[in-house]
A and B are shown apart, each in its own frame.
Chain A
Amino acid sequence: MLARVIGLGQRAAGDDGAGIAVIEALRRAGVPEGVECAVAAGPSALVSLLWTPDRVIVVDAVVAPLGGEVIDIDVDRIDPSAPLGVSSHGLGVRQAIELARLAEPELTSPDIRIVGVSIARPSRYVERLSPVVAAAVERAAQRILELVGR
């Protein structure tokens, strides 16, 4: 396998489902051989998905003032206390990555990247993306395809 792409989010929480939508876009477009797509509802489900020798790309919604941006995020530069690092499931993305590395340093992917889709605020019980975030989904999928070498 070349890479594992993991979409993080909740479909029933409006723009929070951006990561899931990007995975769906990748599956529609088709990914290169050796690229595996997966989804996780929250960072706690992310940990074991990081245990792979291959490159991992996590795609997640990121709260920012301006919605609809596609952002490359350096995992090691995320402030553990930043909003990205906090989730209802007790862990943030940064914490999930740290836990994976601490628990299984030999098993955890040596190359983990995050592609963020900026959103204004997750909604409750809305099963669609806002237009500005929906418009960013294809761009995020394209960025991921660049990262996996297509």
Chain B
Amino acid sequence: MSEGTRTIHVDYLARVEGEGSLTIRLEGGRATEVRLAIFEPPRFFEALLRGRGFDEAPDITARICGICPVAYLMSACRAMEDALGVVLPEPLRALRRLLYCGEWIESHGLHVFLLHAPDFLGYPDAVSMAKDHRGWVQRGLRLKKAGNAIVTVLGGREIHPINVRVGGFYRAPSRAELAALLPELRVARDDAREALRWTSTFAFPDVERDYELVALRHPDEYPILDGRIVSSRGLDLDVHDYDAHFVEAQAPWSTALRSTIRGRGSYLCGPLARFNLSFDRLLPEVQELAHAVGLDVPCTNPFRSILVRMLEIVQAFEEAIRIIDAYEVPPEPAVVPVVRAGTGHGATEAPRGLLYHRYTIDDEGTIVEAKIVAPTSQNQLSIEADLHAIAGELAAMPHAEATVLAERVVRNHDPCISCATHFLTLNIEAT
């Protein structure tokens, strides 16, 4: 290694979803190489899907992720319903939104309290943090449990829900089943509001990034289930036009594809994108809460994404309570599709960002082509760009501190890089 040259290498990133490694080569005050190597499963599932029935896609793709199976269920259903010309009646759409709220709460809760907060409070992990901040960890776990309860009641079970089908659900819950969730949801909603105030007191590194932000935008709602694809630099697309504007390429050091906007480059999806592009679609009281804790548009500091996730948890609780309050059992749990050949596109907002599915099926409903673009593929280049942006700071730090900061920069975006296995051997080293 020449003088002034340093390499930070993290074999396995801790506290991110899945396996990944990070290499940053610093020369002087700049990064000459940043490689976030990730091992991402959707490509393998695309091959698995070919030859399977249209109605199998939601369940098969839900296995991609143990943390956000609802997102895969929803994007797959949306795409298949698009191919088959199915339009969901509002009560069924509301149930799907409720299910998705449960997943947002559960997934964001895991990230905020167990993976991200330790970074701000100076702990290596959630267990160490819990010894000094028991009350907050307790509230975080209770809040996450409340999200799980929604997913369990609507999805039929907590992980890999089985009650969702193309056209709706296999069974719609009774009013009493949903109403029974309300006491727990109200307590957890109040805890989430307090936790937002707590996270707003954290010290945030002073970093502003010039992202092109990409998210769904809906005429009336904060984006979750559907909408047009918009960006902070003027994109405004129907989901059917996704492939005309976004392109993916593989880097030799990573199995994941990396997305760019054609002719423009990297972009960022996820909480920061949704917040900046659809702040006006948050419930009025949630907007007020954001202002009260100093969270305003624009927010382009990736470290402040923890605040946005907390705000989205509050929004999800408020919405869930409203949906349950207004719930009437729908006459039918699903619209039964009439099988026909076609191509369908579906995009929904997974907790980590835009999740795009496209399927082509033949006239018997057999899948002949599948494409899945996960949020982490879309964010990978922006994560690397974040690391380039702080290279000078990293270069000036002792090695161990630089490694910690580099990992924090990755964790800001809650990457979900491989969800098909829960085991990995952790080995963090800096050379």
Contacts and interface: CB of A to CB of B under 8 A. Distances in A.
Interface of A: 8-13, 16, 38-45, 47-48, 61, 63, 80, 83, 86-91, 95, 98-100, 102-104, 122, 124-125
B144 A48 contact: yes
B423 A87 contact: yes
A95 B316 CA distance: 28
B17 A89 contact: yes
Nearest to A124: B420
B427 to A, nearest CB: 9
Given A42-B66, A125-B48, A99 B137 contact: yes
- In the A-B complex, the 5 residue pairs with the closest CB atoms: A41-B66, A13-B421, A42-B422, A86-B426, A48-B145
A40 B15 CA distance: 18
A89 B48 CA distance: 24
Contacts of B18: 88
B305 interface: no
Contact of B422 (A16, A95, A124, A125): A16
Size class of the contact patch on chain B: 35 or more
A9 B130 contact: no
- Judged by DSSP, the binding face of A is mixed
Given A89-B110, A124-B39, 9 more contacts: A10-B63, A10-B419, A13-B423, A16-B422, A48-B148, A86-B425, A86-B426, A90-B126, A99-B127
Contact of A90 (B64, B115, B148): B115
Contacts of B110: 44, 89-90
B273 to A, nearest CB: 23
B41 interface: yes
19 contacts: A10-B63, A10-B419, A41-B160, A42-B422, A45-B158, A45-B159, A47-B144, A86-B426, A88-B418, A89-B66, A89-B67, A90-B110, A90-B114, A91-B114, A95-B126, A99-B130, A99-B141, A103-B134, A125-B41
Contact of A41 (B127, B144, B159): B159
Nearest to B125: A95
The winner among B45, B48, B115, B422 for most chain A CB atoms within 10 A is B422
B15 A90 contact: yes
B180 interface: no
The winner among B44, B115, B421, B423 for most chain A CB atoms within 10 A is B423
